[in-house]
Structure 1
Amino acid sequence: MPYTWFYIIIGLILLIILSNSFLPLWLRTLIGAYYLVIAAVFVTETNRINAKYEGITPVPDAYWDENSAWVETASNFIFLPFIGLLIFIYIKWFMKVQTKIAKTLVLVSLLPAACVIFFFLFMFNFGYGYRP
């Protein structure tokens, strides 16, 4: 299945957003619907691009240009809102904790969280939008 990593990324984003208590239920529902629509549009458009150039060998540069541009656009729609939401969640989390140690741990947890996000961003763009 060519979209396995895509579904894993979307699933993790939904898990993080929907299980968060800092966002009201209506907003979590709206964000969940947004990511489900983005997922459907991404799969549909990627399949359309692939079908357009199917059976043409060697694969023309136009395919790589169109596919790479589409994946870059989709990654912006997926990851930029998620990064903004995570910043909001981290600010709320930082303000909620009372002790200095807890505040330090919240700040320290930003580093691995940022690394994981940028790893998924890189893998998404590399895996679906790579141009040889």
Structure 2
Amino acid sequence: MTLYTRRAVGIAAPFILALAALAAPAHAATEPRHGGPNCRAIDSFAPNKNEEHTVALADGRAYAGAWDKKAKNIVWQELSDNKGYPARACDITLSEQGQTVWIKAITTDGHVHETSCVSPGKKLICNKPWTRLR
């Protein structure tokens, strides 16, 4: 098994486990949280050789994670529990500068929402509310 294959498996396994956790009942909401059967996305950014940040969206739930080089996996945290998370989120992306990571999600009706995380060192702290961008 090559180093690349081991890293791909190390990244994929926790992501698959995170997706399996999505089978748990969704939060009660007045409108559906699910963006649709084709709404799955993943995006990553490596600001340097020691850090990599990833966001993922599946079944209407969003996650952000930081690559743990020692454990060889991604440490995930859920973003869909943050205040203001958009119903019907369908795609997600991230960008970063310095210690700030911005995460944007677009809904099936075209609304863009944003939250941010801080990245002190090799971890992510994502506790900010989502805001709709106009």
Structures share fold, TM-score greater than 0.5: no
Structure with the larger helix share: 1
Q: TM-score, length-normalised on structure 1?
A: 0.29
Structure scoring higher RCO (CA < 8 A, sep ≥ 6) equals: 1
Structure with the larger strand share: 2
- Structure with larger Rg: 1
